Amino acid sequence: MKKLLFVTLLLFAILACTTSLPCQPTRITSQPTHVAPQLADMAWDDRALFRAGLVGTEQATLDSMPGASVYHLDFEVAGDFSTLEGHEEVLYTNREEQPLDEVYFRLFPNTAGGGVTISALTVDDREVEPVYGFADSAMRVPLPKALQPGAQVVIGMDFEVEVPREMGGDYGLFGYFDGVLVLDEFYPVIPVYDDEGWNVEVPPPNADVPYYDASFYVVRVTAPAKVALVASGVEVGREYEEGAQVVTFAAGPARGFYLAAAESLVATSQVVGETTVKSYAFAEWGEGSDQALQVAVDALESFNARFGTYPYTEFEVVNTPMLALGMEYPGVVAISLALYDPDGKVGGLPAPVILESAVAHEVGHQWFYNVVGNDQVDEPWVDEAVVQYITGLYYRDTYGEAAERSYRDSWEDRWARVGQADIPIGLPAVEYEGAEYGAIVYGRGPIFIALLEEEMGRETFDAFLRDYYESYKWDIGTGEAFKQLAEVHCACDLSPLFDAWVAPPR
């Protein structure tokens, strides 16, 4: 999600969130030592390590993505959490139809209030000189010889990350604040190459920035032993040395790797199918943590039934200080601490009301953003408007139509912030000014999708959305693909509706 998801919901939502399934949290105890293979000893194409992170029906994915990038990260978190120092190697395969002379990496810490310094950059063990651009948010790695379609290179580098301590850059999603380390987009990462070429630009201030192909990550983290680590993927190794824990995570396929760390996080869990759902929160926010767990469980059940089973064996919700309400990552969602106070108010509404819609929304991104990727910078509606719409489906499935209607009122309220102006929902993020981004993409956007549902008929629309998910699984969905597939399902011309709401005809 991100970007202030204030909703107006009826108070019944607060009461209802404790119904439907009995909440039977179990305490999670610390895990024993088990040794993971050293990164240097691991075969690049060995997918066995990722098996534990995938539910049974997803295991076949491991054999179906031979050219997906593989990231090996090994880094240490300083004792005072001020820096990260480590080494990264990426196996990159040219899956395009033309040779590539260069590969780009995004360096988002440089535009998120901190910084990242790269050294010892190599391509297949040959040193190369990087070229920085786009306000240092991107690094061009020249390849010593053109990389032919289907060919592979290993790009290696040392990196040092300066972790910000003042909230403000990137909504507080990256930094060390009030004893919580939050690592959003902290390592060098390869953006999508598509019909535009490499997707690099100065990050727009209003939108989410990650746009990556689904990849595989093995990440070895050395961190003070006193903190709990909440991360994408599953833990596949754990050792202890001189006050530090050395933990290896395997994640993938996934669009990125996220890590949060803090002392005194208490975890509760429930099981949904083959997935263990965990809610991590500070002890004083137990009530909010239980609610977050229940909403996550209900949302997973709703979306599992509608679109296809959540792919991973773990799903985690963690409370962190931030200026947004929540943020999605593969297998993890971070939710603002401010929403966990049962007596708190957020945007004039009871915090538990906002906690529910924020958690359900972020859970929805596991289907649309992680499994089905999209270009959040150029086509944010394909991401956020769709997820706003399916958040309504969570309310419909969990409580009934009245709850969904009530939640849908929040879209109208958002759109009203720009006087219900007919601004197209299909603009790139950078073209929205001020309040327009939230009002149009999060408000007018889902209103459009609800109209589409009405136009196509609910049954046809449901079948379309499920097909869209299955057709673009671990691939990239676009606005054009969304429209074309919808037209196949309804056997109708949706151009008038798309012209009026998404983008006027050129």
Chain residues that interact with Zn ion, rule: CB under 5 A: 1, 384, 387
Pull the structure tokens for residue 201: 């630009």
Nearest residue to Zn ion, scored by beta-carbon proximity: 1
- Roughly what angle, to the nearest 10 degrees, separates helices 380-399 and 445-456? 70
CB of 34 to Zn ion, least distance (A): 35
Which residue number, 280 or 442, has a Cβ lying nearer to Zn ion? 442
Question: At a CB cut-off of 8 Å and minimum separation 6, what does 108 contact?
Answer: 137, 170, 174, 184, 185, 186, 189, 203, 209
CB of 4 to Zn ion, least distance (A): 11
CB of 411 to Zn ion, least distance (A): 13
Which residue number, 121 or 387, has a Cβ lying nearer to Zn ion? 387
How far, in Å, CA of 412 to CA of 15, rounded?
24
Using the CB atoms, write b or e for 23-32: b if 16+ within 10 Å. Answer: eebeeeeeee
CB of 46 to Zn ion, least distance (A): 34
How far, in Å, CA of 484 to CA of 478, rounded?
10
Other beta carbons less than 10 A from residue 81's beta carbon: 20
Which residue reads 């379309």 in tokens? 464
Q: Among residues 406, 398, 402, 411, which one has the least CA distance to residue 16?
A: 398
- Residue 34 per-residue DSSP state: B
CB of 371 to Zn ion, least distance (A): 15
Pull the structure tokens for residue 195: 């019909």
First to last CA, the chain: 30
Which residue number, 408 or 489, has a Cβ lying nearer to Zn ion? 408
CB of 302 to Zn ion, least distance (A): 16
Which residue number, 207 or 219, has a Cβ lying nearer to Zn ion? 207
Which residue reads 């009826």 in tokens? 10
Which residue number, 368 or 498, has a Cβ lying nearer to Zn ion? 368
Q: Among residues 108, 111, 127, 109, which one has the least CA distance to residue 119?
A: 127
How far, in Å, CA of 386 to CA of 449, rounded?
7
CB of 208 to Zn ion, least distance (A): 7
Residue 429, φ and ψ in degrees, nearest 5: -55, -40
CB of 265 to Zn ion, least distance (A): 24
